[in-house]
A = this chain, B = another copy of it.
Amino acid sequence: VKTFHVHPAWLPVEAFRGLGSRSVLVIGPAEGTALVRQEVTQARTRFGGQLRHRPAAGPGASDPGPADVILALTSSVAWPAPLQHLRAGFPEPIGDEGYLLARRDGCTVVLADDPVGLLYGWFHLVRLGERAFGPERAVEHHRPALRRRMLQHWDNVDVHPVTGQVERGYAGGSLFWADGRARGDLDRVRAYARLLAACGINAVAVNNVNVHATEAHLLTDRIGDVAEIADRTRPFGIRTHLSVSFAAPVVLGGLSTADPLDPDVRTWWAEAVRGVYAAVPDFGGFVVKADSEGQPGPFAYRRTHAEGANLLAGALAPYGGVVHWRAFVYNHRQDWRDRRTDRARAAYDHFAPLAGQFRDNAIVQVKHGPIDFQLREPVSPVIAALPGTRVAVELQVTQEYTGQQQHVCYLASRWSEVLRFRFGAGHPSVNEVVAGGGLVGVSNAGPDPFWTGHPLAQANLYALGRLAWDPDLAPVAVLDEWIDLTFPAATDPAHAPARRVLHALLDESARTYESYTAPLGLGFMVRPGHHYGPDVDGYEYTPWGTYHFADRDGVGVDRTRATGTSFTGQYPLPWSQVYESLEHCPDELLLFFHHVPYTHVRHDGSSVIQHIYDTHFDGFEQVAVMVRQWDQPGVQALVGSAVHERVAERLQEQCRCAREWRDQVTTYFYRKSGIPDVHGRVVP
């Protein structure tokens, strides 16, 4: 018997105890404060607190009496006289989506210019919990570092014969679509929007970047479906975006061309966009995968990707919309025999020459690494290669290559490494780039009762939003937030041992996953097609450009300028030299940049082959430890029986699969190299 329908994720009732048991005063117009008042009402109904409201109170308004919390919009010009002292000294304007937070005379005050800023302030208080009611606090000015904090859903409307309802979806289908239609259950979409607002997301693309026949129609005759979603997300400050086909003028419009310089094509897009905004006045914009893995694009008309992107940007500009134009363009019909062609080079080769040619509302969306969402890749050099053009970085929250929500893999530590990466003097850091262009995550959420299949994968969704709000946040701090919100008992010292188990399990999970799967920057050793579990040679002789070139003597891809594909030359100094140098290249990227003998000695003194053996055996052991730790007394009490049971099941599968990874990878390299493991553990 199910004891719950949908898990509350990081907004369980208990997380609102501190706020819900206190006296809250909301100041501001009825409409602009509706949502926070609803939040307060919900919380106080449970915990016995108070809510008062002053719609547009002036100096003459009646005294509302003392309050523990004031939530106020700046548009309510004057406050009740007895509270004026709480209002003084706040800097203005606060700015879109921002809020001020202070504690004065025993009252916690949140002030915002707009309703969504007030909502973000409210969720800030939720995160603080009892800490919101401690000593005085000087005014803090909170604003998102990134204007656009986006989730993209690879959701299909029709169930696709190969990729299913959701491409790379591991959470039970789509929140928006089922079997060719919009889902009826928009309450679930509303709940999703609330969760996203609570972590800072403000944009959602509702369909797959691979736009198939049915999904193309969302742009025109099925825009009503999008409007219904937008109606549910709008109150939470979330704009709706749509993936569209570059060939839409042909496919939907019956034109003979989709040439971006053709006047009829321009007119068609202008008209299509007009229709979209008629249905969705605050529509966010388009996402486009063009000339990539079979999707149509401007190359068919000998136009550049800037010309393609600017076509759509031009149509969207009058309405304030943007186009996210993906830089994931490469030859997916490569010949594995050809070692000079390098997929890692492709995005840079295509896009770097176009720097500065994109309109201001065209955002080039770049995957974090040069290949495709592998756990360990260098940061994509494209991110630094487009001065004068807005660049968004794309991360994969859905765990296509990182365990598919069967394995625990808290990704924020890797994301944070990417975001903090500094390209070198004269070049912006990734943080600075995304401040201008935004952060995008491919969503891992679906109608699964735990939202994300693996309950602990919620932490990745949460972290994506939080890092998009502030890319400088420490991933471990975000993890702490997520734990304490999701499992409020964790703040109780009695639960400290269980909390430590949970924390360690997540905090070390990405390192663990990396150690039993892909050593030293080797990637794509997964089963072709579904990408789950090991197959060392699975992609070695395919057209996909993802090779490791292991032979009996050595392994790795020579991407140096000296003897390889010259990919290292796409980086500014010092990285172009660091990666080029076998001596200085970081160990964790050694085989990404260099082909070395198995006997090559790494910085820590061990050989490449022994490192492969050691990490894989250690990684599996670590998973076995995770399984045991999860069964320690207290963990179930902390997380609840439903979460405990689901995680326990998946840990079993992770353990089984980690053993496969360990043994297939080590046996593969033993059979090739003939070099025995010094500890004699490898199956021959």
- Chain A residues at the B interface, C-beta cutoff of 8 Å: 337, 527-529, 534-538, 541, 550-553, 660, 663-664, 667-668, 670-674, 683-684
Contacts and interface: CB of A to CB of B under 8 A. Distances in A.
Given A337-B683, A663-B337, A671 B551 contact: yes
B671 A550 contact: yes
B550 A667 contact: no
Tell me the number of copies of this protein.
2
B664 A541 contact: yes
Contact of A671 (B663, B664, B672): B672
Given A663-B337, A672-B671, A541 B535 contact: yes
B552 A671 contact: yes
Contacts of A337: 663, 667, 683
Give the 7 A-B CB pairs with smallest separation, nearest first: A551-B671, A537-B537, A541-B664, A552-B674, A552-B552, A337-B683, A552-B672
Nearest to A541: B664
A188 B481 CA distance: 68
Contact of A551 (B537, B538, B550, B684): B684
B673 A552 contact: yes
A670 B660 CA distance: 26
A672 B537 contact: no
Contacts of A551: 670-672, 674, 684
Given A663-B337, A667-B541, A683-B337, A674 B553 contact: yes
A515 B535 CA distance: 26
Q: Which of A528, A551, A673, A684 has the most CB of B within 10 A?
A: A551
A528 B660 CA distance: 17
A210 B299 CA distance: 47
A81 to B, nearest CB: 70
A674 B553 CA distance: 8
Nearest to A534: B541
Contacts of A538: 535, 538
A251 B272 CA distance: 53
Contacts of A668: 537, 541
Nearest to A161: B161
A621 B658 CA distance: 43
A551 B552 CA distance: 9
A341 to B, nearest CB: 14
A671 B547 CA distance: 14
A535 B550 CA distance: 15
Contacts of A674: 551-553
Nearest to A542: B535
Nearest to A663: B337
5 contacts: A535-B538, A535-B541, A541-B664, A552-B552, A671-B672
